[in-house]
Amino acid sequence: MKRKQTDLRIRDTRKTVLTAVKYAILIVGALVMMFPFIWMLLTSLKTLPEAISIPPQWFPESPQWENYAYSWNLVPFALYFRNTIWVGILSVVVTLVFSILGAFAFSIYSFPGRNICFYLFMLTMMVPSEILIIQNYVTCSQLGLLDTFSGIVLPTVANGFYIFMLQEYFMQTPPSLFKAAKVDGCSNLKFLIKIVVPMNINAIVTVAILTFITAWNSFMWPLIVTLSDEHTLLSVGLLRFRQASSSNLHNQMAAACIVLLPMVIFYIVFHKKIMEGVASGGTKG
């Protein structure tokens, strides 16, 4: 009896130690990942001598909140915010239309070459977007879409991953439900809008959120196709701010905080929806 109790204590002790070690590793990892953001925030409140001092000065003697006002007014950040929000909304709407219709076609319809077409869509996930930049640029130039919101959005709306993700959800719709709807005279489009979309609204919201985040963070393609401030996004605007602010590191960090803060708030609000949708999508099929 005593031996069993001793073994249980040893097991409990080992479990406690392992749990403590696990959490210690996670805390250290979290601090390492958060350090650049914490340093950025602290630097944004410093003076220039404090920001570039060696050895580094960790905390500002007096927080310089005016750095944010200066950074906001140096370049038209309000215009960049408006442009980025508009591009994000446009990307979400067009991407959802293409992804929902494509996933519906692959999950409901049976037509010759369906599997081949689906595999071709999946192959696009293996092609780095950088490879397509030259061809997309030539196409947008020929169509007169350079320095337009359409030129920023259109090359990114067909996404094989989103079609695959939604198709996995749509395939869970019982075939008998589709047949019953057809017997009642329901059209395919009405079946999609009235039944399939409401049944899979969580997955669709997840795709919308991920699309908006991607549009918000996009940099390379908007940098190439935009020339004027009227169509510049925040990511490109931050680069232009860096060029305008010269070597003022503290102001650059303040501008980076301005650009980063909305997306941090966005993720805090929707992170549960993102994780639930992606995790649920991984168990489908």
DSSP string, 46-93: S-HHHHT-SSPP-S-SS--THHHHHHHHHTTHHHHHHHHHHHHHHHHH
CB 236 within 8 A of CB 219: yes
Which helix (H) or strand (E) is 211 found in, with range? helix 201-217
Per-residue tokens: 158? 């067909």
> pLDDT, tens digit, for every residue of 248-264?
888 889 998 988 888 88
C-alpha distances out from residue 207 to 99, 179, 181, 203, 278, Å: 9, 28, 26, 6, 9
For residue 28, the model assigns a pLDDT of 92
For residue 277, the model assigns a pLDDT of 56
Mean pLDDT score, 40-47:
90
> pLDDT, tens digit, for every residue of 8-26?
677 777 888 888 899 999 9
Q: 164, 167, 161: which is closest to 104 by C-alpha? A: 167
> pLDDT, tens digit, for every residue of 194-252?
888 888 888 888 889 889 988 998 888 999 998 888 999 998 998 888 888 877 888 88
> pLDDT, tens digit, for every residue of 111-163?
787 888 888 878 877 888 788 888 889 999 999 889 899 999 988 888 888 88
Confidence check: pLDDT of 193 > 90: no
CB 236 within 8 A of CB 32: no
The verdict on pTM exceeding 0.85 is no
Residue located via tokens 């805090």: 268
Q: What is the CA radius of gyration of the chain?
A: 25
